[in-house]
Structure 1
Amino acid sequence: MSSTDMPARSDAPFPDDQNPTELAWQQADHDVFVATSRGEFAGFVTVDESTHIVHDSHSRRIGSYSSLAAARQALVDATRPPSRGRERLRRRILARRR
């Protein structure tokens, strides 16, 4: 792994092809970090002074964080498949809106 490669979760027991929440990171510029998952673009983090701004794979802003580690974890959390319980809750909420 080169000095610009940064695993999103160093404690993850599975390689990238088995763990969908594992992101591979590359530093594209001094203030831009790009994430891929299974070779596909997953999102990026830009650094604006001391703020780290996270965007998903469609360049939608996820949020702002004070550290690169927190920003990277936010993208991991955003790309994690929803749990069955969360998905059921989402469906109930959407059904109530109809």
Structure 2
Amino acid sequence: MSSTSTSARSGVPVHDPNPTPESSTADTAAPAELAWRQADHDVFVATSRGEFAGFVTVDDTAHVVHDSHSRRIGSYPSLAAARQALVDATRPPSRSRERLRRRILSRRR
């Protein structure tokens, strides 16, 4: 990551000047953090492991989040909330949430 990348969770700059083989293998097992860049005064773009992950646009009243396919995720009152929404949307579903989803879908049939 470059020195201008920021953590999606804290907004604090993230920089690992000496990546080790141990940290590289740990990164592949865990969900990747999103790196944020400001593309314009009202657009923030997120990447995960070098791949486009989504973006946030800012207008007068809201921060609108879009995923990697430009599908709208939602509108949020702050940039921090919008960034967290994209983090949550890119996180793989938990087993319990997936079981609940299957149970709900099976009842609809």
Is residue 107 of structure 2 the alignment partner of residue 96 of structure 1?
Answer: yes
Distance in 2 of aligned mates of 1:64 and 1:33: 14
How well do the aligned residues superpose, as a CA RMSD in angstroms?
2.1
Alignment of 1:37-52 (within 5 A): 37-52=48-63
SS, match of residue 17 in structure 1:
helix
SS, match of residue 20 in structure 1:
coil
Asked if 2 retains the 8 angstrom alpha-carbon contact of 1:31 and 1:46, the reply is yes
Task: Determine which structure has the larger helix proportion and give its number.
Answer: 2
The structure having more radius of gyration, on CA atoms, is 2
SS, match of residue 93 in structure 2:
coil
Is residue 27 of structure 2 the alignment partner of residue 17 of structure 1?
Answer: yes
Which residue, out of 37, 45, 51, partners 1:34? 45
SS, match of residue 26 in structure 1:
strand
What count of residue pairs does the alignment treat as equivalent?
A: 94
Structure 1 regions of 5+ residues with no counterpart? none
| AA at the equivalent of 1:43 | G
Runs of 4+ in 1 over 6 A off after TM superposition: none
**Paired residue for 2:64?**
53
Q: CA deviation at 1:21?
A: 4.6
Alignment TM-score, normalising by the size of structure 2? 0.76
Alignment TM-score, normalising by the size of structure 1? 0.84
**Paired residue for 1:68?**
79
Task: Determine which structure has the larger strand proportion and give its number.
Answer: 1
Asked if 2 retains the 8 angstrom alpha-carbon contact of 1:21 and 1:79, the reply is no
Q: CA deviation at 1:94?
A: 1.3
Distance in 2 of aligned mates of 1:51 and 1:60: 16
C-alpha distance after superposition, 1:77-98 (max 9, x if no partner): 1111100000001111111222
